[in-house]
């Protein structure tokens, strides 16, 4: 749209550091009026930090934000709302027991002589819904809506404040394909009504389809802006090139040699209704098998179903020539390990020490006749600390106090000393710095070299 080249928001030389780590380095970035602008980059590229600065959650260390050409100070969410910026978060914050209108008008109630003007409020919300053709009823209870419907409520909350910029952070992460389509329609309708959208998604196909422009960040730096209007439009290859950068070629690559040892895990026609369908794979001793795919492709769910966390609806799995147990406890006993992608809530107990966390999967190894042996516990933890090179190397230290990378080393290490024959890993390096990342890969490779079979989701 040629008439909409006017710039709504401009960030100039934004800098943000976390304890000396520069996560945003002199980032220049702008959003035009009435455009869908996507922000792309790998994990840790600085996307969420930039959004949080724009929406007033983090203070910036340097740089200026201009709205409609005027420099503005955004120090809080109130400031960003006052400047017409609204955020639709991945975790929805709706009030399910209330109606759509009550959700949207909460805190902005219309009253007359102290009494609520329910009719007027319902009408105002309904008008807004109709204007953008959102297909909801103002008097509907939010509990009756699907996730997609609830997301629309969040968008409405933004629209009621007359937001001129709506930031959407992974809005399709929990939507079905059909629901996503409906959301895209809404996004286009908002754009056509002059609202700007800052869109963040890991699903690149969505990004190409929706965006008028794409800004790519890498390691906290702006590496490129791609414009649909530019000659040749947006080339997906170039965007990916910008996102991944040169690091792809310089990164240490393992030679792919299919294992020739014994088959450890044999998955045949495995399905979990609604998540994945008809998956067959084999892993051999000493082999590392990677599972690729987009967010929502069912990779996490596959690993969870194999391990026995989630159910399976069809197919079978054999582990060392025996049908795999559906009991997690039994699977751990027989040498299967599982590392969740959500380290914080599923990986460890933060209030407990390293040694207590290490002992958790195999109490038998550190106890005599069911009574905990402190000496055995300590010895086991020390062995683990040595093997994974933990900092600080203190078995009594609470896991909560370690850095992300070292926490992940504990999570991996506890399976290492358990002598797993099969390790299922769901994205082992979330929120882990580069140094620790390669150390963790090294640990996993060593485990494979010692004969373990590994399935890894990246």
Partner 1 sequence: MKMHMSLTVKKLFIPIGLSIAAFIFFSTQSENFATASNISTILRETATPLMISCGMCFVMAAGYIDLSVGAMAALISMLASRMIDLGLAVPLILVLMVVLGAVFGFINGFLIRTFDLHPFVGTLAMMSVYRGLTWIFSYRNANGSAYAVKITDLTIRELNGAMNIGSFKIYYSLVTALICMAICQVVFMMTKFGSNIYAMGANLKAAELTGIKVGRVEGMAYMCCGALTGVCAIFLLARSQCATTTMGVGLEFDAISALVIGGASAMGASETAGKANPVGAALGAFFLYLVYNGIFKMGIPTAYQQITQGGVLILMMMVDSIVTMIRLHNQEMKYGLEQEKIMQEELNNG
Residues of this chain that interact with partner 1 (CB under 8 A) are 77-78, 93-98, 102-103, 106-109, 111, 114-116, 118, 141, 143, 157, 176-178, 273-275, 277
b/e per residue 154-171 (b: at least 16 CB within 10 A): bbbbbbbeebbbbbbbbb
Backbone region of residue 419 per phi and psi (left: phi > 0; alpha: psi in -120 to 50; beta: other values): left
The dihedral sign for the CA sequence 428, 434, 436, 439: positive
Q: Which residues contact 135 (CB under 8 A, 6 or more apart)?
A: 129, 152, 182
* Dihedral angle over CA of 437, 413, 257, 457, nearest 10: -60
- For partner 1, which is the closer residue by CB, 242 or 279? 279
Distance of CA 403 to CAs 82, 135, 410, 428, Å? 36, 46, 11, 14
CB of 37 to partner 1, least distance (A): 24
CB of 105 to partner 1, least distance (A): 8
Cβ proximity of 77 and 56 under 8 Å: yes
CB of 165 to partner 1, least distance (A): 17
- For partner 1, which is the closer residue by CB, 64 or 106? 106
Q: In the block, which residue shows the tokens 């809404």?
A: 186
Total residues belonging to the chain: 458
- For partner 1, which is the closer residue by CB, 111 or 330? 111
- For partner 1, which is the closer residue by CB, 177 or 369? 177
Cα distance between residue 447 and residue 442, in whole Å: 9
CB of 79 to partner 1, least distance (A): 13
118-131 vs 147-160: helix crossing angle, rounded to 10: 100
Three-point CA angle 56, 186, 172, nearest 5°: 65
- For partner 1, which is the closer residue by CB, 156 or 425? 156
- For partner 1, which is the closer residue by CB, 103 or 196? 103
Query: Is beta strand 367-368 parallel, antiparallel or unpaired with respect to 21-32?
Result: unpaired
CB of 114 to partner 1, least distance (A): 6
- For partner 1, which is the closer residue by CB, 147 or 247? 147
- For partner 1, which is the closer residue by CB, 234 or 291? 291
CB of 349 to partner 1, least distance (A): 22
Q: In the sheet where 322-323 sits, what is the strand order?
A: 276-284, 263-272, 314-319, 322-323
Cβ proximity of 409 and 416 under 8 Å: no
CB of 144 to partner 1, least distance (A): 9
Q: Which residues contact 213 (CB under 8 A, 6 or more apart)?
A: 32, 35, 37, 38, 225, 226, 227, 228
- For partner 1, which is the closer residue by CB, 146 or 368? 146
CB of 110 to partner 1, least distance (A): 9
CB of 274 to partner 1, least distance (A): 3
């Amino acid at each position: 749209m040629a008439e909409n080249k006017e710039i709504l928001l401009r960030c100039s030389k934004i800098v943000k550091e976390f304890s000396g780590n520069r996560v945003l380095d002199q980032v220049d970035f702008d959003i035009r009026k009435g455009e869908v602008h996507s922000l792309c980059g790998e994990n840790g590229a600085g996307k969420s930090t930039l959004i949080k600065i724009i929406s007033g959650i983090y203070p910036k260390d340097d740089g200026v934000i201009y709205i409609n050409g005027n420099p503005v100070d955004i120090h809080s969410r109130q400031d960003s709302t006052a400047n017409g910026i609204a955020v639709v978060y991945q975790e929805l914050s709706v009030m399910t027991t209330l109606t759509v209108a009550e959700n949207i008008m909460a805190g902005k109630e219309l009253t007359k002589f102290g009494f609520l003007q329910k009719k007027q409020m319902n009408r105002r919300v309904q008008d807004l819904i109709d204007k953008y053709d959102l297909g909801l009823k103002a008097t509907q209870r939010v509990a009756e809506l699907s996730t997609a419907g609830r997301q629309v409520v969040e968008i409405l909350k933004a629209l009621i404040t007359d937001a001129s910029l709506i930031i959407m952070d992974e809005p399709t992460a929990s939507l079905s394909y059909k629901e996503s389509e409906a959301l895209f329609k809404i996004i286009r309708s908002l754009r056509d009504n002059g609202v700007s959208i800052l869109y963040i998604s890991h699903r690149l196909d969505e990004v190409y389809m929706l965006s008028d422009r794409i800004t790519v960040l890498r390691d906290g730096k702006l590496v490129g802006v791609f414009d649909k209007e530019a000659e040749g439009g947006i080339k997906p290859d170039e965007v990916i090139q910008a996102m991944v950068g040169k690091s792809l070629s310089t990164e240490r690559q393992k030679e792919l040699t299919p294992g020739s040892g014994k088959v450890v895990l044999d998955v045949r026609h495995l399905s979990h209704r609604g998540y994945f369908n008809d998956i067959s794979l084999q892993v051999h001793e000493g082999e590392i098998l990677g599972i690729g795919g987009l967010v929502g492709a069912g990779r996490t769910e596959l690993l969870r179903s194999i391990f026995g966390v989630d159910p399976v609806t069809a197919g079978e799995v054999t582990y060392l020539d025996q049908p795999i147990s559906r009991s997690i406890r039994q699977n751990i006993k027989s040498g299967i390990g599982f590392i969740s992608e959500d380290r914080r809530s599923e990986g460890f107990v933060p209030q407990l020490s390293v040694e207590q966390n290490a002992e958790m999967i195999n109490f038998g190894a550190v106890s005599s006749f069911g009574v905990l042996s402190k000496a055995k516990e300590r010895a086991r933890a020390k062995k683990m600390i040595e093997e994974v090179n933990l900092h600080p190397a203190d078995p009594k230290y609470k896991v909560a106090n370690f850095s992300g990378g070292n926490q992940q080393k504990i999570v991996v290490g506890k399976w290492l000393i358990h002598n797993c024959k099969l390790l299922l890993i769901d994205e082992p390096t979330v929120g882990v710095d580069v140094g620790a990342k390669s150390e963790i890969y090294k640990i996993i490779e060593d485990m494979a070299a010692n004969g373990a079979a590994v399935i890894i989701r990246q």
